[in-house]
Amino acid sequence: MKGFLMTRIIFSLAIVLLTILPRANSNELTDGWKLNGYVQTIPFLDGRDFSNKTYMPIYTSMKLRLGVEKSVGDYLDFNVQFQNSRVFGQEGAITTNNSHIFMIQGYLEFKNILNQPLSLKVGRYQSDYGTGRFISVSPWNYVERAFDGFKLKYDNKDLMLEAFYAKHTSETKSQNGNAFPTANIFKQTEYNDYDIAGLFGEKKLSDDMKIQALGYMELNNAKNAEGVKMLERFTGTVSFLKSADPLGVTVELAYQGGKNQGRNIAAYLTTVKLDYKISDFTLTIANDKHSGTAPNSGEVNTFNNYPAAKHRFFGLMDYFTTASTNYPLGVDDYYAGFAWKFAQDWNMTLFGHQFISNKEALNYGSEIDLTIRYNLDKKIFVEFGNGIFLPDDLMIDMFESALGPGHSDPALVTYLRFTARL
């Protein structure tokens, strides 16, 4: 009787789905498959330890991605991408296989739900909101950021709203299809997963002007040795963006509150950026400020935006990509520079940064970055990048306390980046 009832339920659900969804003919299911690919190879010369007496490591990173996508009518998209990330020679032998292939994306997207500009994405997906200061795919990294979860999106061109949920970490690593008394899933006594949920909205004010808002909650329900939850943190942001025509403006404000292992969180981020464009030349002046925590403080005042695209900000030498953990005093970045398209397929950027902490005007130092890029195609380019960092007392103290005396020289990094999106 029980099995018969379950069969009826499944049969009824199938009829409902077939009734609601548009019918796809055989051509829709077999035609229109598209391949996509991405290759990035970067040889590095890395002298970022502030010592001209040590060996400068030379290494090459590579990231290769291959995917397939398929649309069924105007109501369903399927997308899956696999990636391999490595440093040349890391296997140690030419016959060694470390099996570094993994799925970076894999999802179904149901579109035009109820004949409205409404879509639902289910699976493993990437997200990139606004400038990338808060949540982004972090494309510079060997492994780009992706989320396991759901995204419900409404987009009528002038107004876009998106609600998302993602599973950061699950205590249940696998689930057996059979229910039996000794199954691991039945041994859990409480919920210890790490979840993220939030809302994003964007309103266009004109063709070159828009406002954005993002709010998300992180709940790490695991407990420390004292039985206190690891994390209960809320982040709220608002952004105003105007493209350079000729004057561009970016203003972003963010606040974080909640608790980190029982300690109150009160942190903030501010960004003010002005661009002025004249033909193929764009001049920029800006300030990015991440709050920090004073030594021996009972609160957490260091702004933590770990899901952001860190390489886009705080200079190309990546000293502050982990600012929330390695630089808890906060980071204040005053920078200026220009981007110049000096020939048909050539462009360059030159920026100078002054980094200070948020406490007692302690300086990290100054950085100068130069990049020159040649575009073989819209999606294929070669980029030559260089950075030099002149350390101040705070940065010298941090490196010498970890590595010993003799780390007060200028730091250098040079790379050659080959990138193709296919």
The counts of H helices and E strands in the chain are 4, 18
In the chain, what percentage of residues exceed pLDDT 90? 66
pLDDT score at 332: 93
Q: What are phi and psi of 184, to 5 degrees?
A: -60, -35
Query: Mean pLDDT across the chain, nearest whole number?
Result: 88
131 in Cβ contact with 250 (< 8 Å): yes
Residues 260-299: tens digit of each pLDDT: 999 999 999 999 999 999 999 999 999 999 999 888 888 9
In 3D space, the residue among 312, 305, 307, 304 whose CA is nearest the CA of residue 140 turns out to be 312
- Do the Cβ atoms of 271 and 284 come closer than 8 Å? no
User: pLDDT at position 94, please?
Assistant: 72
What is the pLDDT averaged over residues 186-203? 85
Rounded CA-CA distance 298/294 in Å is 9
Per-residue pLDDT of 380-400, as tens digits, reads 999 999 999 999 999 999 999
Per-residue pLDDT at 159 exceeds 90: yes
Mean pLDDT of 42-55: 94
Domain boundary assignment for the chain? 30-171+191-421
Which pLDDT score is estimated for 321? 84
CATH of domain 30-171+191-421: 2.40.160.100
**What's the pLDDT tens digit per position in 119-152?**
999 999 999 998 999 999 888 887 888 999 999 9
Per-residue model confidence (pLDDT) at position 58: 95
Torsion of CA 363, 338, 345, 387, to 10 degrees: -20
pTM for the structure as a whole: 0.85
**β-bridge pairing 331-343 and 159-169:** unpaired
Is the Cβ–Cβ distance between 74 and 111 less than 8 Å?
Answer: yes
**Is residue 182 pLDDT above 90, yes or no?**
no
Phi–psi pair at 20, nearest 5 degrees: -75, -45
**Whether residue 212 has pLDDT greater than 70:** yes
